[in-house]
Structure 1
Amino acid sequence: MPQLSVIVYGPNAQGHLTELLDSVEAHPLLDAEIIVAAVGDWARETAEGHAPETIVVPLPEGTGDAAARAAGAARASGRWLHFVHAKDGLPAGAPRQLAERTAELDAEPGAPVDVLLFDHVVTTWQTAARASRDGRLLAAVGREGLPLNEAADLLRLTPILGNRALRADFWRAHEEQLTADDEPQAAHATLLHAGRVACLNQAAYENRELRPESLPPLDPEDRFALIDRYESLLPLARDRRATRAVLYDLMMRDLVRTFAGENLPDAVAREFFRRASLVAVRWRPENHERPAGVEGVRHALLEEGAYTKYRAFQAANRTRRAAKKAVKSRKKELGAKLRDQQYQRALSRPVNPHLAVFAAYWERGVACNPAAIAAKTAELAPHIHPVWVVSKSNEALLPPGTDYVIPGTRRYWETLATAKYLVNNVNFPNAVVKRPDAIHLQTHHGTPLKRMGLDQMEHPAAAKGLDFDALLGRIDKWDYSVSANSHSTRMWERAYPARFTSLDYGYPRNDVFYTATADDVRAARRRLGIAPGKKAVLYAPTHRDYEAGFTPRLDLAELADRLGEDTVLLVRAHYFYGGAASPLTGLRRSGRIIDVSSYDPVEELCLAADALVTDYSSIMFDYANLDRPIVVYADDWETYRTTRGVYFDLMEEHPGQVARTQEELTEIFVSGAWQGESAAKARAAFRRRFCEYDDGRAAERVVRRVFLGEPEESLPPVLPIEDRTPAPTPEEASA
């Protein structure tokens, strides 16, 4: 019996079935079966032309989606079912993720989980995969199975069947109630009938939205089906207060949006409004509060059945919005004009040769390579006055005595206009003018594994919201680009094609990995509360562009338990602890798990850690300077590689050991493989490639070249890697 049955159903809409089956065959999984409930000859022929192990269930042209799903499920032998429409897609490795997660759920004691919910990406006829809005909600609920009424907001997830897997026994017990051609109705019904649900905040589905103009037109009367949907669903939530309240809110939202957004004939609009009013009154929960503001007025008028009043309110509201928008635009225009005038006047002043502006991570404060350069400038070029750009929210975190400006203020623009040096690890705003005698120094903030700059154009999930023309305008202002290794130099020149000069000097922020002493290591551990004799493992995962929020990819309580009392986990992420009852609570109180998500500088965390566990974060390239063990936890490598794009195969060119599951990760530590000969050999090769220029004197080279104007040949040469001595390990520091 396979763990998962992937049931592809429906006609070969616009030929998308071929690419769906191709993607599944590119990443075969032994513990999953593929069943195609093929509607029509084209879908049948397409399915039969693929892998011989694919089970094809031919269905007549015109078979509805509900009947096709049922026919596919009837042939399924898996413990869990995943319904995938033939127009949609599956990200690389998605069936493996679902098979592994559902197997975990099956192994858990207690009442079984009936429905597993997960994230998805959205593709339209105009755009490729972009993240959905569901990830943050999935992450907030966590991974623990629970009744729907304890997490009723899960009803707000996109109502498609593709973003949920169903336990086969659950499907068979409720098949009649879950069968509907209206997919949102069927999707909601799965949750309303489920005993327990669980979440996986990973994208395991691609929902392809077809161009409406390419689909058969809807009759105006088809809008009444929306009312019928909720009339069938609300009785299922009658005795569950929280669930009923959320479902009612969703109904009211959909009714109001449909009425307001559809250009319905007047007779149909009046009948829709009348029916919607009746169902709104009939199912309104006791003591239910309407939304505030305009939305609440809409709800009240709908419940009242006041069609004429509603139309008058719509007209008045449109007029009010138009007037408000005009006033807002005028204020914005006047403010921008005033700031532009101030900036232009400042640009007419001479450049101050002793003024330098520093910024890091979008005005976060004193950090990263700019901070290391500023510190070395104070030592070697004290005539340079540094001014930091910091957002209002981070102002209080600045070191005492720091001179700074707040973005958008008059002094901010005057300082940017007259500074000789502008140093940033990201980019300054588009409006900043590149003066001929000013110097822009781009320091970057990591070695690129993932695609950057123009290379993101092929990966829409990563490129979402990017204006590439504006990006080109920003990089054309760079005079210098700092690099830690020749790989980065080549990738920066490819991703950011401009006339800047590459400074192959190393990352200044990494100097501390060669200058720190045993006292520094001990002090870092004391500040973090790591008891003497304890082994500290830093867990620092990266962000996924296809997910919203942080995904708790590891069961930290279980990992801490397996690693034992002598190991402390430093967690560099916003982890959802799950309240006082969580097993993590006691581990945090005892100091075995320390949340270092907001701890700066990150270099100090690296000095304190005996080993690093990460996934695709650039921290691995920096930490490798310390020549300490690194373990890569790559549970979703295929998805990350496909959606974000990468410059090399980390599975082949890794810095030590690689784990694809939590059990593999645990075994690497329990067995000692994390610090074994094989890991050391891989780490040595990784260090030679990616720590090429980091030797402890990167900041000095940058300051001497950029701020003091010294020639390249007079700078301190890069020390060969075999001649470098990293900071002492915690074990060495405690000796």
Structure 2
Amino acid sequence: MLSKLTHILRLLKMRWTYGNYAYYYCFLPLQAKKIVVSVHYGRGYSDSPKYIVAELLQHGFDIVWLVREDQESSLPAGVRAVRYGSKQALRELATAKIWLDNCRQKYSPPKRRKQMYIQTWHSPLRLKKIEKDAENQLPIAYLDRAKRDAKKCDYMLAGSDFSRAMYQASFWFDGEVLPLGTPRCDLLLNKNPALHQSVADFFQVASTTKFALYAPTFRQEASLSVYLQEFSEVKRALQDKFGGDWKILIRLHPNVAKLADDMVYGEDIFNATSYPDMQELLATTELLITDYSSSMFDMALAGKKVILYTPDLTSYLAKERTFYFDFEELPFSISKTKEELLQQVAQFNERVYQQKVVLFNTQIGSYEQGNAAVAVAKKIQALCQ
């Protein structure tokens, strides 16, 4: 009996110290100029919060970024690193005016009345159904966390009428959707030649290099079996069609990043899975090859080339997620074999593609203008006054 009581007391202490039971931090004063940021459960400086924070760095805010142990070096000067999931992280959250996240919060204290929680979400437009629309396919533990997180959320960001309606209908969300655009997509809409040079320097290639990016999404059964793994013919097809010297970057989804070590690389094929910011790769690349990743829509916003490689389309729909869009009606060429992919590259028609992309962006009601980060930063400044 005594051992059982001791166990219960130990659990209560752990919850009081580490979980959503850290009420005692809420007796500390709220700091009107403090912002606490988290992306992808402790990843470093990336996604939409990165670009919002960049606009706020010179405005006197105390900006805290919650990161895993190996991510501190990714943060710029002016941003404090605090270990994700730690007691200090709970303390920072409890005393911040603004919470900024791109995923459902996993560790947080009770939200206080004068605090504001802005959810940027990690994909401005999606192919795969999510949240309430995929309730039968998501773990119960995640659904519980998502519903609790939604109750705390004050604002979500939308870059299109489609996304705005989805957040209002499917995210258990009663706050305000801000139609300001997607900060992470600003980079694709605003040309920055220095960024191409930076990426070229990172991979130690010539500044004249043209990049193609292969970025498939993950499957629940983590395996390389359905991924494209040999790229010499793809490189040759790109050079024959578009000219120039092409290099191919391979970036696997964070959920299966460990599989990147088993891919084959070479003089013209580079492992980009650990590159800090996916958006920089998208902004630099001239052609994206993906399957069901939302990165296709980011590229489409900027009219950048996308070809889909989906050898497992039928089984994916059966085993993983259903889609928001009719796959065949997307503005992208679809290939189910490597031979079809090579053919799609050879037959790529820029004029027809651009017409399809413009029509698609019109149909979803896109209002991306390339100034979302500035607009959100101004909103945060107003909230902190």
Note the C-alpha offset of 1:578: 5.9
| Partner Cα distance (2:363, 2:377) in 1 | 25
Q: Which residue of the partner structure matches residue 684 of structure 1?
A: 358
Q: How does 1:279-358 map to 2 (within 5 A)?
A: 331-339=10-18, 343-358=22-37
Task: Quote the residue 2:143 is aligned against.
Answer: 468
- The separation in 2 between residues aligned to 1:453 and 1:397, in whole angstroms, is 30
The 8 Å contact of residues 212 and 249 in structure 2, kept in 1 or not, is answered as yes
The answer to whether 1:409 aligns with 2:83 is no
Offset at residue 480 of structure 1 (A): 0.3
Q: Which residue of 2 is the match for residue 158 of structure 1?
A: none
Corresponding residue for 1:368?
Answer: 47
Task: Return the alpha-carbon distance in structure 1 between the equivalents of residues 79 and 142 of structure 2.
Answer: 33
Structure 2 counterpart of 1:456 = 134
Residue 668 of structure 1 aligns with which residue?
344
Give the AA of the match of 1:454: K
Pick from 524, 542, 548: which aligns with 2:217?
542
1:633 aligned partner, one-letter code: Y
User: Are 2:323 and 1:646 aligned?
Assistant: yes
Structure 1 CA distance, aligned partners of 2:218 and 2:2? 41
Matching residue of 2:197: 522
CA deviations on 1:66-101 (whole Å, 9 max, x unpaired) are xxxxxxxxxxxxxxxxxxxxxxxxxxxxxxxxxxxx
Work out whether residues 631 and 674 of structure 1, in 8 Å CA contact, stay in contact via their aligned partners in 2: no
> Where does the alignment leave 5 or more consecutive residues of structure 1 unmatched?
1-321, 711-735
Query: Residues 63 and 78 of structure 2 are in contact (CA less than 8 Å); yes or no, is this contact kept in structure 1?
Result: no
Structure showing the higher helix proportion among its residues: 1
Pair 530,560 (structure 1): closer, same or farther in 2 beyond 3 Å: farther
TM-score normalized with structure 1 length: 0.47
Instruction: Show the 5 A alignment for 1:7-46.
Output: none
- Name the SS for the 2:93 alignment partner: helix
Q: 1:423 to 1:700 in 2, by over 3 A?
A: same
**Cross-structure match for 1:568:** 247
How far off its partner does 1:485 sit?
1.0
- Give CA-to-partner distance per residue, 1:411-436, whole Å, 9 cap, x none: 22221111110000012236531211
- Contact 1:656/1:681 (<8 A) preserved: no
Q: Distance in 1 between matches of 2:86 and 2:261?
A: 39
Report the Cα distance in structure 2 between the residues aligned to 1:515 and 1:454, rounded to whole angstroms: 34
Higher Cα Rg, which structure: 1
1:398 partnered with 2:72: no
User: Per-residue deviation at 1:407?
Assistant: 3.2
> Against the structure 1 CA distance between its residues 344 and 604, is the aligned structure 2 distance closer, same or farther, given a 3 Å change threshold?
same
Aligned match of 2:56 in 363, 369, 377? 377
C-alpha change, 1:515 and 1:557, in structure 2 (3 Å) is closer
The aligned counterpart of 1:633 is: 309
Shift of 1:502: 0.4
Q: RMSD of the TM alignment (CA)?
A: 2.9
Match of 1:611 in 2: 287
Structure 2 match to 1:502: 177
User: What is the Cα deviation at residue 505 of structure 1?
Assistant: 0.9
Q: Are 1:560 and 1:567, in contact at CA under 8 Å, matched by a contact in 2?
A: no
Q: Distance in 2 between matches of 1:433 and 1:616?
A: 36
Match of 1:233 in 2: none
Separation in 1, partners of 2:5, 2:72: 34
Match of 1:55 in 2: none
Alignment of 1:225-264 (within 5 A): none
Change (3 A) 1:705 1:417: same
In the alignment, is the contact (CA less than 8 A) between 1:562 and 1:666 conserved in 2? no
Q: Would the alpha carbon gap of residues 684 and 411 (structure 1) be closer, same or farther in structure 2, given more than 3 Å must change?
A: same
Distance 1:346 1:353, change over 3 A: same
**1:148-171, Cα deviation, whole Å (9 max, x unpaired):** xxxxxxxxxxxxxxxxxxxxxxxx
Distance 1:338 1:491, change over 3 A: closer
What is the correspondence of 1:583-594 to structure 2 with a 5 Å cutoff?
584-585=264-265, 588=266, 590=267, 592-594=268-270
Quote how far apart the aligned CAs of 1:576 are.
5.9
The letter for the 2-side match of 1:602 is M
Kindly indicate whether the alpha-carbon contact (under 8 Å) linking 2:196 and 2:284 is maintained by their aligned counterparts in 1: yes
Q: CA deviation at 1:515?
A: 3.0
Q: Is the 8 A contact 2:249 2:272 kept in 1?
A: yes
TM-score (norm 2): 0.86
Report how many residues are paired: 372
Instruction: For 1:445 and 1:473, locate their aligned partners in 2 and report how far apart those are by CA, in whole Å.
Output: 18
The one-letter code sitting in structure 2 at the alignment partner of 1:520 is: L
- Hey, what does 1:596 align to over in structure 2? 272
Measured against aligned partners, the alpha-carbon deviations of 1:608-635 in whole angstroms (never above 9, x if no partner) come to 2111111110111111233121111122
**1:547-582: CA deviation from partner (whole Å, max 9, x where unpaired):** 224545213245346537743211112556769xxx
Distance of aligned partners of 1:564 and 1:472 in 2 relative to their CA distance in 1, 3 Å threshold: closer
Q: Provide the identity percentage.
A: 24
